[in-house]
Amino acid sequence: MEIASSLSLLAKTQAFLRVSYSERMMDMNLEQLFSLYGRIYFVARYNQFKDSLMIQSRITKLLLMLMLCAGSGLVAADDHGDRASKLELDLVGLYNPLGISLAARSYFRNTYHHDDAPLWDGLYWQAGGQLATNPAYQRAGLHLEWMPIAVMQLRAQYDRYYFTGSNGTLLAFDSSDQAYGDNEIKARQGQEQSGYGNRYLANLTLRARLGNIILRNVSDVAKYEFPGAGPYYLEREYELLMASNDYIFSNQTYLLFEHNNGQGRTTWFGPYYDYVRVRETGLVRERLGLTVYQEHAKAIGMLQKPRWYLQSGVYLTERNRQDEFYLVLGIGGDLEF
């Protein structure tokens, strides 16, 4: 589909909303009202993002529009045998550092192999895109994922950033030895910069299962490109100083216990260890904590597989937050129309 025809379809959707709006609302049930408000919200968000993100690729522009217009039915999320298209939504809140983020991920997955042997069963490849927005930045990207064997997932991802120029984003530092804690960021409020950046990410996920015990290890290597001379910037996802062009290595190890209550509610819980290192600055962050993830089989309205998750623990190594407590709390689900 060409971009022009896609925008024409979007315009027709907007026209539909304007025609006899008040009369339509009187006859709508709760689910229809939810869908209608979803159309209005996501069309508005599209108009905002298309001007700010300046994504050059026609393919990426089309993907961005499809994801943000999911409420109007332009993205269908349904399963057909071994093929599935889904839209996942998550709202995440953080404490230390304090923050909030809304994320969306849309993908097509093709399960190309089944086998009686668990090691070779359920192999798939996946292609899709992702969005995230928070007070510090907006992010849009594409990804490819492949499971060549049941214990391994490989992922390649590209993200385009727009830094808003607030909340410490693109705050420049002359030296990687400078303090960059919450007090320092507040003292330099108004010195942030806005601009565009890139991230190129490679991911390796390994997992093993023994009964209801799951061992999972997630490793990322990412290259970040920040605009401007820097020479160092505060990266707000990991809260570490990075050079204008720099690499981050991160690794998370989980030991999880699975519990199913027999009524469609599954819970995973257990300890995890998180390690992050920046190549140029040499800064390290280590955290140890507990993670809880719960998923429900029963839908809530249009939201399929509703879930909530929590991570909390302490900073083992971090220049500004040594031995301090942190918390991550999220809710989400899948939209299927």
Tell which CATH classification among 2.60.40, 1.20.81, 1.20.140, 2.40.160 matches the domain 79-335: 2.40.160
Residue 212: predicted pLDDT:
96
* pLDDT score, position 337: 52
| Residue 168, pLDDT score | 86
- Percent with pLDDT over 70 in the chain: 75
Q: Please give the pLDDT value at position 57.
A: 45
| pLDDT score of 13 more than 50 | no
Q: Residue 100 to residues 94, 133, 197, 272: CA-CA distances in angstroms?
A: 6, 9, 21, 22
* Angstrom distance (rounded) from CA 126 to CA 35: 27
Query: What tens digit of pLDDT does each residue of 277-333 get?
Result: 999 999 999 999 999 999 999 999 889 999 999 999 999 999 989 999 999 999 999
pLDDT higher than 90, residue 245: yes
Q: Does residue 86 carry a pLDDT above 70?
A: yes
Taking the C-alpha atoms of residue 194 and residue 199, their distance in angstroms, rounded to an integer, is: 16
The reported pLDDT for the residue numbered 229 is 79
**248, amino acid identity:** I
19 has pLDDT over 70 = no
- The distance from CA 175 to its chain's CA centroid, rounded to whole angstroms, is 30
**Average confidence (pLDDT) over 134-158:** 97
Angle at alpha carbon of residue 106, lines to 234 and 52, rounded to 5° = 50
Whether pLDDT at 213 is above 80? yes
Count of alpha carbons within 13 angstroms of residue 299, beta-carbon side: 9
Q: Could you tell me which residues come within 8 angstroms of residue 334 by beta carbon, excluding any fewer than 6 positions away? A: 77, 86, 87, 88, 89, 303, 304, 305
Q: How far apart are CA 58 and CA 26, in angstroms?
A: 39
So what's the pLDDT on residue 199? 98
pLDDT at 258 over 70: yes
What tens digit of pLDDT does each residue of 151-200 get?
999 999 999 999 999 888 889 999 989 988 888 888 998 899 999 999 99
With a pLDDT cut of 90, the percent of the chain lying above it is: 61
Alpha helices in 56-130 (DSSP H): 58-68
Q: What pLDDT shows up at residue 274?
A: 97
Alpha-carbon span 242 to 32, nearest angstrom = 47
pLDDT (tens digit, 9 = 90+) per residue, 32-68?
444 444 444 444 444 444 444 444 444 445 445 544 4
Name the helix (H) or strand (E) containing 139.
Answer: strand 137-149
CATH 2.40.160 positions along the chain are: 79-335
Pair type for strands 172-173 and 152-164: unpaired
